[in-house]
Amino acid sequence: MTSIDTAAMTTTLVHRASEHDAWWRNAVIYQVYPRSFADASGDGIGDLPGITSKLDHLARLGVDAVWLSPFYRSPQADAGYDVADYRQVDPLFGSLEDFDVLIERAHHLGLRVIVDLVPNHTSDEHEWFQAALASPKGSPERARYIFREGKGPEGAEPPNNWQSIFGGPAWTRLPDGQWYLHLFDSKQPDLDWTNPEVHEEFRSVLRFWLDRGVDGFRVDVAHGMVKAEGLPDWDGHVAMVEGVDEEGSTGAGNQGPMFDQEGVHEIYREWRAVLDEYEGDRILVAEAWVEPLSRLARYVRPDEMHQAFNFSYLTTKWDAQALRKVVTASLVANDEVGAPSTWVLSNHDVVRHPSRYGLSDPGSKPQGIGIGDEQPDEELGLRRARAATLITLGLPGSAYLYQGEELGLPEHTELDDSLRQDPAWFRTGHTERGRDGCRVPIPWDAEAPAFGFSPTGAAWLPQPASWAKYALSAQRGDATSTYGMYRAALRIRRDFKLGSGSLAWVDGLPEATAATTVAFVNGDVLVLANLGTEALPIGPEYGLELLISSQPLVHGAPLPPDTAAWFRLPR
Ligand code: TEU
């Protein structure tokens, strides 16, 4: 078989190197899920002092910023995505003073800090909702939420047929007969974004955190805040963990009268103006499950948000051609509006990518994995995940990492159902396993109780015994470990300025391998990934210098299946 001949290589340029140097355009941002990162208090739930104690780990890893999932006062009906007070830290996680210490330490280490903003809904325990319950129909207190009369005799049926994303109806009835809308749990009533008071309040919340020094906000359900006028019926249903359809959609797009309405863009323009009043480059990142990518790009137009998670990329299967297609579409769509692409493979809502890639349909997106479900092939999944990471970090743009992926952590797929806490598990009548499996506390120390997550050995979800090998302590100092690979990749990415680089696909690969190879050039670096089942020959004579590989690789030897590598191109 002919090998890859870089001398004869032709390429198709789809994205030019960026001339902008704002930090967020090429930043690697690490998601911390506070309840599962590090527990300083010993109650089994991670907290802000725990995070502060591990910031040096993140600095050493080489990321640029940290995004913290919600730590605000909350009854924790959806692990903090049900906020009762947007300006207070929940005692579970610490205090505002703890937050100040965290951000000061992070900035000292050169790490920026992004916090989560949950504007689609509040907790039902928020003082606004409590006031709405205590006030009559038609009152200004109720006008902050979406209260409606029901249909049918005595209004006993919900105002429309919308389903909650967590399952069950999206409406709950009060004793006085009115119904309120909740796209998620009944303890998460949706705000009415046609009400100027809601706008005013959230501008003020933004200022509260900007004044405390945050570098930006990840905006929860950024595609859902405005609903179509009249709240028309819709027969579709969006599940929390959407399956991937075979029609070409990756499953990242949410349609329906509650998603991607024009009005959301006005909100982001308003917020952008607030951020622009502040010094430093403060950013907004959209959690918007919107397809196609050209629609998603509208969230990152110059006067709106800075970044939008690329869920189309996350939901793409382990398939070289599909990856090439989605990467091209992403870069083209974002270039149209002058925004970077924001690559992501895992977060607190999806099955961890090593486990997704270890399924018989690799990269498919299950609604959680439980003991009765197909169990991923752990070794194969990790092998592919490591290759996927080198593809991702080799792409120009920004990238998000989810805590634990630098350890190669799989999903906990054998969690006892009795321990599950995800509202989706309960609201679907135990048909969707939900997201607990990707939220299990991080193993830091193979020898310590709860693998060093907490000083007492307490952990709100148990870690599998097999996680000892993933602990940081078991990987540190080992260059071939997943942790070692991430550190090296982040360093090389920085040295070669890959984040602000270009992308040109390599054409004319040997026919037998073209369909199963991801091959692109970013600046001086050739990124090669073999997703096929045969080794991919690389001509040693062409002077490719191996920079890093996802599996041990001998110089000039063929690239094994499910392996990626970065090479420096000869000058
Ligand atoms: O998730 C929202 C979310 O993922 C859905 O909006 C999405 O449309 C769909 O499920 C994907 O097909 C965010 C948080 O990340 C999550 O943890 C919260 O539970 C949720 O919002 C409610 O705040």
Q: pLDDT class for 426, splitting at 50, 70, 90?
A: very high
242 labelled catalytic: no
Is the minimum distance from the CB of 47 to ligand 1 under 6 angstroms? no
Q: In this predicted model, what pLDDT tens digit does every residue of 484-532 receive, in sequence order?
A: 999 999 999 999 999 999 999 999 888 888 899 999 999 999 999 999 9
Task: Please say whether the beta carbons of 271 and 285 come within 8 A.
Answer: no
Quick one: pLDDT at residue 337?
Answer: 98
Measured from the Cα of 240, ligand 1's closest atom is: 10
Q: Is 220 a catalytic residue?
A: yes
Read off the pLDDT of each residue in 474-492 and give the average, rounded to a whole number: 97
Q: How far is the CA of 167 from the centre of ligand 1 (A)?
A: 13
Distances (CA, A) of 7 to 10, 544, 549, 570: 9, 10, 21, 9
d(CA 214, CA 71): 14
pLDDT at 338 (0 to 100): 97
* CA 224 to centroid of ligand 1, rounded, Å: 10
The Cα 541–Cα 533 span in angstroms is: 24
Q: pLDDT digit string (tens) for 376-403?
A: 999 999 999 999 999 999 999 999 999 9
240 lines ligand 1 (CB under 6 A): yes
Residue 438 has a pLDDT of 98
Write down the pLDDT at residue 3: 66
CB of 407 sitting under 6 A from ligand 1: no
Question: What percent of the chain has pLDDT above 90?
Answer: 89
Least confident range of 266-275, 311-320, 555-564:
555-564
- Which of the following is catalytic: 124, 220, 260, 422? 220
Q: Token pair of 504, please? A: 């040109």
Reported as a single tens digit per residue, the pLDDT across 87-109 is 999 999 999 999 999 999 999 99
Q: Is the CB of 422 under 6 A from ligand 1?
A: no
Cα 348 to ligand 1 centroid, rounded to whole Å:
10
Measured from the CB, is residue 311 less than 6 Å from ligand 1? Answer: no
Section 1-26 average pLDDT: 84
The CB of 220 under 6 Å from ligand 1? The reply is yes
pTM for the whole thing? 0.97
Instruction: Answer yes or no: is pLDDT of 22 > 50.
Output: yes
Q: Whose CA is closest to 143, among 85, 203, 204, 195?
A: 195
* Cα separations in angstroms, 88 against 95, 103, 127, 201: 7, 15, 13, 15
- Whether the bond into 292 is cis, omega within 30 of 0: yes
Q: What is residue 556's predicted lDDT score, i.e. its pLDDT?
A: 80
Mean pLDDT of 2-10: 70
Judged against a pLDDT cut of 80, whether residue 6 lies above it is answered with no
Residue 243 has pLDDT above 60, yes or no: no
pLDDT at 2 over 60: no
Amino acid 1: pLDDT:
46
In this prediction, residues 302-308 reach a mean pLDDT of 98
From residue 495, alpha-carbon distances to 85, 491, 500, 525, 547 in Å are: 42, 6, 11, 11, 11
Q: What kind and span of H or E run contains 308?
A: strand 307-308
Lowest mean pLDDT among 4-18, 203-217, 221-235: 4-18
Ligand 1, atom 14, lies closest to the CA of: 220
| Residue 164 banded pLDDT, cuts 50, 70, 90 | very high
Over residues 157-177, mean pLDDT: 96
Distance CA 555, CA 371 (A): 42
Q: What is the pLDDT of residue 7?
A: 67
Cα 225 to averaged position of ligand 1 atoms, centre (Å): 12
Give the model's pLDDT for residue 541: 62
Q: What are phi and psi of 127, to 5 degrees?
A: -60, -30
AA letter at 165: I
Structural tokens at position 308: 């939008």
Q: How many CB atoms lie within 10 A of CB 200?
A: 10
Atom of ligand 1 nearest to the CA of 348: 17
Give the contacts of 502 (CB within 8 A, at least 6 positions apart).
Answer: 13, 15, 16, 17, 396, 521, 522, 523
Residue nearest to atom 11 of ligand 1 (CA): 240
Does pLDDT of 311 surpass 70? Answer: yes
Residue 52 tokens, joined? 């502060």
| Catalytic, out of 229, 233, 266, 277 | 277
Q: Exposed, middle or buried, 245 (CB in 10 Å: 0-12/13-18/19+)?
A: exposed
Contact assessment for residue 52 and residue 98, using Cβ atoms and an 8 Å cutoff:
yes
Closest atom of ligand 1 relative to the 165 alpha carbon: 10
- pLDDT digit string, tens, across residues 332-369: 999 999 999 999 999 999 999 999 999 999 998 888 99
% the chain with pLDDT above 70: 97
Q: Is the CB of 492 under 6 A from ligand 1?
A: no
In the predicted structure, residue 239 carries a pLDDT above the cut 80: no
